[in-house]
Amino acid sequence: MGGPGGPSRTRHHLFGVSGRRVGRAKRHGRSHVRRTAVHGGPSPVPETAYRGPTLGRRFPTLSASGSDVKRNKLLVGLLVWYGLLWTVLAIAPHDRQDWLLENLLALAAVITLVSTYRRFQFSTPSYLLITAFLSLHAIGAHYTYAEVPFGFWLQQMFGLSRNPFDRLVHFAYGLLLAYPLRELLIRLAGVSSFWSYYLPVSGMLAQSGLFEIVEAIVAQIVSPELGSAYLGTQGDEWDAQKDMIAALSGALLCMAIVWISARAGWNTEKGRPT
């Protein structure tokens, strides 16, 4: 058995110097890590580092790390909050037809965010800002923007000639959504420096103008009788232009805050655009 021509010589011939069988493909990954660890060789990659196929590169899964678990719970909480608020405000709105028109774009936005979450994820601050704006819009849709009680309170408090709630929401549109738009431009289009501040502002202004045009078209095609209730002009012929100025002002303020925080080195979230 142990002679010159016995199995030991044959075994040595088969294994050779490299220690693996002739004709057998070299194995990588997890088995290699285990073998080096068992035979006492160097093991630079720990066993726990093996992740298997990188399917999550295109379709990321929810992480089990502590910070990501907290983030996922927060995002679920934001979705539940908006769902509950929307449901409550859907009960007996002031004008059902106006409520339906107001919620078309809002629901489309929520569906888009949820359906594309596995492909593109905003930062936590962006989701907070988006939820805040959608909540304000849900309130305006319930009462119609021209008849929101809080707006009447502001009107009496400051002696205004009209309910200012719709103007405040247009201002919030620029203030709250310019940051998510900047994040989108940085991560998908690769904009930086000056353009990362200019493009979000001009984008919000353009979207505001487009929204005013879409509002007018939808009001005339879908329900012409709603007219002023849906548009919220309150008798002001320059209402659309003033709404655009409000959105522009909000976007400028948002980018000013972002610029100051960037100069001060305050990162809103590690790994995300400032």
Note the pLDDT tens digit of each residue in 67-96. 778 888 999 999 999 999 999 999 999 989
Find the mean pLDDT for residues 138-144.
Answer: 96
Question: Under a CB-based contact definition with an 8 Å cutoff, are residues 176 and 250 in contact?
Answer: yes
Residue 65 confidence class, pLDDT cut points 50, 70, 90: low
Closest CA to 74 of 269, 271, 273: 269
Residue with the bigger pLDDT between 3 and 122: it is 122
Q: Please state the length of the chain.
A: 274
Question: Under a CB-based contact definition with an 8 Å cutoff, are residues 102 and 148 in contact?
Answer: no
- Residue 63 clears pLDDT 50, i.e. is over it: no
Q: What is the DSSP letter of 43?
A: -
Kindly list the distances between the CA atom of residue 121 and the CA atoms of 56, 66, 73, in Å, as whole numbers in the listed order. 13, 18, 14
Biggest alpha carbon–alpha carbon distance for the chain: 110
The 10s digit of each residue's pLDDT in 8-20 is 554 444 444 444 4
- Residue 173 clears pLDDT 90, i.e. is over it: yes
Q: Output the average pLDDT for the chain.
A: 79
- Residue 7 clears pLDDT 70, i.e. is over it: no
Own/partner contacts of 234-242, CB < 8 Å, gap of 24 or more, are 234/146, 234/162, 234/163, 234/166, 235/162, 236/162, 240/212, 240/216, 242/167
Q: How far apart are CA 155 and CA 149, in angstroms?
A: 10
Q: How far apart are CA 100 and CA 264, in angstroms?
A: 44
Write down the residue that tokens 């009788």 correspond to.
225
Task: Look at the pTM and tell me if it is higher than 0.85.
Answer: no
Distance of alpha carbon 67 from the chain centroid: 17
Please report the pLDDT score of residue 223 as a whole number: 64
Q: How far apart are CA 71 and CA 257, in angstroms?
A: 24
Q: How far apart are CA 182 and CA 189, in angstroms?
A: 10
Residues 6+ apart with CB under 8 A from 127: 74, 75, 78
Q: How far apart are CA 188 and CA 182, in angstroms?
A: 10
